[in-house]
């Protein structure tokens, strides 16, 4: 059987990959994708802790993940809408070039 | 007789040593049976569809290969297999190759939760209906992969249309099935079918025979036709405008796979419609229950496919804006109202009053929406310059 | 470690790395869909059926498609030969590696090391629904409100500005 | 607009579907190689040469006057005169064609050859299954392929053929009437 720490390590790895991507990629969309990956890593932790926890009947982890999925979907929609609107304005989705606040 | 296939499978599984191996064999048998049955049904449907459409258009349809043309699918299959598989030079090879597989695998997966007879669901998930919609979501991705990787403007246009259409119609599809889930109180397909067993007098307890169920069934069928890109919602293919949409650059066996995936998707949607609204494998009358349950399921499936063929032979293709307007301004409000009606139905005591209230709740908005949607358009009488 | 877990974990991590390294943005989005599907598989392997299917439905069916649309809508005049990483990439990688190192050491030194499953745990849809409708009714309503606001907000943000008349 | 139109349309297609099994006019397909529509009398496509009697070579009406060859707009007719002569239908000795070729891959079916022929020797055919595996050789029709009997002509264009027959009969009768007094005055033997 798979011990709990392997899930936690996988989650940490996913989080690190997402973080690395979010910090280093030029394209704003991929930055957003990195953030999504980090959220998913957190979700994985919730599920793993629910499964290995002492009180799985409480369903706290599951319910939290359901809310997290719903909120993440909203976050992705708004984030992408923002990126599209920024792209319309600057004609680029490169985060390095979007550096001025003035319209 | 009713359990003949179940017993056959049990017997086959019992030949193997118990434990892990038996589970594997059981799964393999289910998968093989599913693929075999539905691939055969696909072959049958293609020829029936072409013959039916032919009859609707006052012609014979295929009648050359075999008696009455029933061997036509074999000829088609041979042709598809022997054709050259052309991949455009600038296409994205890997994605282009994966797209048909990504389409075919999920639609077969979706079929797994549909109960095809008493004890004849390949898997009975606790969240079976959710599973159906979840794997159905992957088909959108495959359509995009096909359209984008072909590096062809027509195919990309077709893919974009298809995705916009699928996403728009997924909302009423799920909402209309939600009414059933609400009343049945379960997401498991097997339980939903069990809830529809039983008869009052001669009338079965199918959900389609209630006001909200009937409206839900119609909405579900329309949305299912749009989801599986069937006429009159076949804009993504639109031969006359974008040639064949996202499969313009596919030939030979990959095209056949797309074709197969599309039809299996149609079967899966019809199967779900049967499960949710038409009582699954239950017989329509109590004195017909001696006929095996799978006969009823496949009979209903064929009847629904015939309806799809009939609609395809009748209705012209919609325009893109009409399609979107229809989804968001008619289907979505109707599905929401239907959900409300199902709730009202659940909380009012049985009787004639419940029927009248619920029928009014569904029919009133239908008339109101139908009138207002087209009233604002101010459709003028069409005049022709040259034709009389 | 069971074979299913290893397979799913490798699939998930490899595709996640691919998302972050590939040059072609559409390939990134497709790899992202694979990552999400792999995670859904891991949820299923952890007996969280409902969450796994919801993950498939929301992430593969909606978010991945949304990202693909956004990529196609924002493509264009960017120089293709530029590096995909921004100027300060080294620092970013460094931070990511440090974060992973910290998390991994914490995990490996915690009580979680070698912890096994405490028997069967199952979350049926009925149980989840009951919890959502009783204990978590307020969060549920707030989430519904949030989704509605996000829907309207996304539409308004992405809507093309009206031409000045 | 509540979907009445859709139901009406569905009814119409259903009538077509079931009607195709019982009514002829709801199933209008002619299954071509086995079933054929009757030829229209006015149908015509490529020219052929008419002959009288049994032997095609002797009975050929063509006298190799080469008018059609000259008139043919795409110049698809090729004629070589033979040195020997043979009698025509009124008994007059006429030249005959040694070679008479029509390239129907060039012919444009204008029917001018038929219009200009003073001997009713060239007429339009109705044969349309002309596909071959050879683009050049098989579409260049020679005299023997072009020659078709008067009976065939009567069959494909009955009205027209009757007119032609009447005209030729009249000419023959006139020639015979002329020949009789001539035979009475001189001893020139008349040809049959």
Closest-CA residue of D relative to B53 is D17
Q: How far is C-alpha B324 from the geometric centre of its chain's CA atoms? A: 20
Residue D192: its pLDDT value, please?
45
Residue C83: its pLDDT value, please?
66
Contact D143, D100 (CB under 8 A): yes
If one counts the domains in chain A, the total is 1
Q: Which residues of C touch B227 (CB under 8 A)?
A: none
In a domain, A98, yes or no: no
In a domain, A99, yes or no: no
d(CA B155, CA B144): 9
Residue D190 has pLDDT above 60, yes or no: no
pTM attached to this predicted model: 0.82
Q: Mean pLDDT, to the nearest integer, of D137-166?
A: 86
A101's CB contacts (< 8 A; 6+ apart) are none
Residue D87 backbone phi and psi in degrees, to 5: -75, 145
B314 with D10: Cβ contact below 8 A: yes
Domain hosting A35: range is 4-90
In a domain, A95, yes or no: no
Q: Mean pLDDT, to the nearest integer, of C31-38?
A: 90
For chain B, give every domain's residue range: 87-374
Distance from CA of A62 to the nearest CA of C (A): 7
Q: What is the CATH number of the domain that holds A13?
A: 1.10.287.3510
Q: Which residues of A touch C69 (CB under 8 A)?
A: 80
Residue C14: its pLDDT value, please?
92
**Closest CB from B131, B160, B188 relative to C53:** B131
Q: What is the DSSP letter of B187?
A: S
Residues 8-37 of A with CB under 8 A from C: 8-10, 12-21, 23-30, 32-34, 36-37
Residue carrying the six token digits 């974008």: B242
ipTM tops 0.95:
no
Distance from CA of A35 to the nearest CA of C (A): 11
d(CA A92, CA C76): 8
Contact D99, D147 (CB under 8 A): no
Residue B188 backbone phi and psi in degrees, to 5: -90, 130
Domains annotated for chain D, with CATH where assigned, are 47-168 (3.30.70.3270)
In a domain, A96, yes or no: no
Q: Which residues of D touch B366 (CB under 8 A)?
A: 2
Q: What tokens were used for B174?
A: 């799920």
Strand partners, D74: none
Provide the residue-wise pLDDT of chain B in tens; the chain has 388 residues.
777 777 887 788 887 777 778 878 888 888 888 888 888 899 888 888 888 888 888 888 888 887 887 888 888 888 888 888 888 888 888 888 888 888 888 888 888 888 888 877 778 788 888 888 888 888 888 888 888 888 888 888 888 888 888 888 888 998 998 888 888 888 888 888 888 888 887 888 888 888 888 888 999 999 998 888 887 888 777 677 777 777 778 888 888 888 888 889 889 999 999 988 888 888 888 888 788 888 888 889 999 999 999 988 888 888 888 888 888 888 888 999 998 988 888 888 888 888 888 888 888 888 888 877 766 566 667 777 776 5
Lowest mean pLDDT across B165-179, C151-165, D159-173: C151-165
Residue B376: its pLDDT value, please?
57
């Amino acid at each position: 059987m798979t011990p709990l720490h392997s899930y936690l390590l996988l989650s940490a790895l996913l989080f690190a990959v997402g973080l690395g991507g979010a910090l280093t990629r030029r394209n704003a969309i991929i930055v957003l994708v990195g953030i999504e990956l980090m959220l998913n890593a957190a979700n994985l932790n919730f599920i793993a802790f629910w499964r290995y926890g002492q009180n799985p009947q409480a369903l706290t982890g599951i319910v939290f993940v359901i809310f997290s999925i719903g909120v993440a979907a909203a976050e992705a929609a708004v984030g992408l809408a923002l990126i599209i609107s920024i792209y319309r304005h600057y004609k680029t989705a490169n985060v390095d070039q979007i550096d001025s606040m003035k319209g | 007789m009713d359990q003949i296939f179940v017993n056959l499978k049990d017997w086959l599984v019992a030949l193997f040593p118990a434990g892990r191996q038996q589970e594997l064999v059981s799964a393999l048998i289910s998968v093989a049976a599913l693929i075999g049955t539905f691939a055969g049904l696909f072959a049958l449907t293609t020829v029936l569809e072409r013959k039916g459409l032919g009859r609707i258009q006052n012609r014979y349809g295929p009648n050359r290969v075999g008696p009455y043309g029933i061997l036509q699918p074999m000829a088609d299959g041979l042709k598809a297999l022997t054709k050259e598989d052309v991949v455009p030079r600038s296409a994205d090879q890997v994605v282009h190759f994966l797209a048909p597989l990504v389409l075919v695998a999920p639609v077969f997966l979706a079929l797994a939760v549909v109960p095809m007879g008493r004890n004849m669901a390949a898997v009975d998930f606790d969240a079976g209906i959710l599973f159906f919609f979840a794997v159905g979501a992957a088909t959108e991705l495959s359509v995009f992969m096909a359209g984008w990787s072909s590096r062809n403007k027509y195919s990309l246009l077709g893919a974009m249309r298809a995705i916009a259409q699928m996403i728009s119609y997924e909302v009423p599809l799920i909402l209309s099935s939600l009414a059933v889930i609400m009343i049945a109180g379960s997401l498991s397909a097997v339980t939903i079918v069990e809830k529809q067993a039983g008869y009052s007098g001669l009338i079965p307890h199918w959900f389609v025979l209630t006001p909200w169920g009937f409206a839900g069934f119609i909405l579900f069928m329309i949305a299912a036709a749009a989801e599986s890109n069937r006429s009159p919602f076949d804009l993504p293919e639109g031969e006359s405008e974008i040639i064949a949409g996202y499969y313009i650059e596919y030939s030979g066996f990959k095209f056949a796979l797309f074709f197969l995936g599309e039809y299996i998707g149609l079967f899966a949607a019809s199967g779900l419609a049967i499960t949710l609204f038409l009582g699954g494998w239950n017989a329509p009358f109590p004195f017909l229950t001696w006929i095996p349950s799978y006969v009823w399921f496949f009979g209903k499936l064929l009847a629904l496919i015939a309806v799809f063929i009939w609609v395809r032979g009748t209705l012209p293709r919609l325009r893109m804006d009409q399609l979107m307007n229809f989804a968001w301004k008619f289907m979505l409000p109707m599905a929401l109202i239907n959900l409300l009606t199902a709730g009202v139905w659940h909380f009012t005591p049985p009787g004639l009053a419940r029927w009248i209230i619920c029928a009014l709740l569904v029919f009133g908005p239908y008339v109101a929406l139908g009138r207002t949607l087209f009233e604002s358009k101010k459709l003028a009488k069409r005049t022709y310059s040259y034709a009389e | 470690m069971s074979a299913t877990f290893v397979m799913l974990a490798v699939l998930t991590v490899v595709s996640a790395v691919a998302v972050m390294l590939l040059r072609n943005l559409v390939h990134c989005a497709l790899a992202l869909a694979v990552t999400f599907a792999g995670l859904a598989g891991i949820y299923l392997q952890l007996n969280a059926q409902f969450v796994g299917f919801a993950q498939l439905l929301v992430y593969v069916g909606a978010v991945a498609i949304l990202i693909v649309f956004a990529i196609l809508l924002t493509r264009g005049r960017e120089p293709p030969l530029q590096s995909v990483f921004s100027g300060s990439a080294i620092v970013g990688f460094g931070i990511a590696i440090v974060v992973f190192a910290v998390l991994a050491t914490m995990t490996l030194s915690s009580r979680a090391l070698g912890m096994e499953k405490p028997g069967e745990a199952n979350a049926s849809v009925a149980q989840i629904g009951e919890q959502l409708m009783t204990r978590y009714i307020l969060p549920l309503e707030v989430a519904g409100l949030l989704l509605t606001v996000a829907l309207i907000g996304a539409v308004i943000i992405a809507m093309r500005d009206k031409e000045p008349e | 607009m509540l979907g009445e139109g859709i139901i009406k349309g569905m009814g119409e297609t259903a009538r077509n579907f079931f009607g195709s099994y019982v009514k002829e006019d709801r199933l209008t397909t002619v299954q071509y190689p086995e079933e054929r529509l009757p030829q229209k009398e006015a149908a015509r496509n490529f020219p052929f040469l008419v002959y009288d009697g049994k032997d095609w070579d002797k009975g050929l009406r063509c006298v190799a006057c080469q008018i059609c060859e000259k008139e043919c707009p795409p110049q698809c007719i090729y004629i070589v005169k033979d040195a020997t002569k043979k009698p025509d239908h009124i008994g007059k000795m006429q030249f005959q064609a040694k070679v008479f070729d029509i390239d129907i891959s060039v012919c444009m079916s204008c029917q001018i050859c038929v219009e200009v022929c003073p001997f009713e020797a060239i007429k339009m055919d109705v044969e349309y299954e002309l596909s071959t595996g050879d683009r050049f050789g098989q579409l260049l029709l020679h005299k023997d392929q072009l020659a078709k009997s008067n009976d065939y002509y009567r069959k494909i264009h009955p009205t027209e053929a009757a007119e032609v027959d009447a005209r030729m009969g009249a000419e023959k009768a006139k020639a015979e009437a002329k020949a009789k007094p001539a035979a009475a005055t001189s001893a020139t033997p008349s040809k049959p």
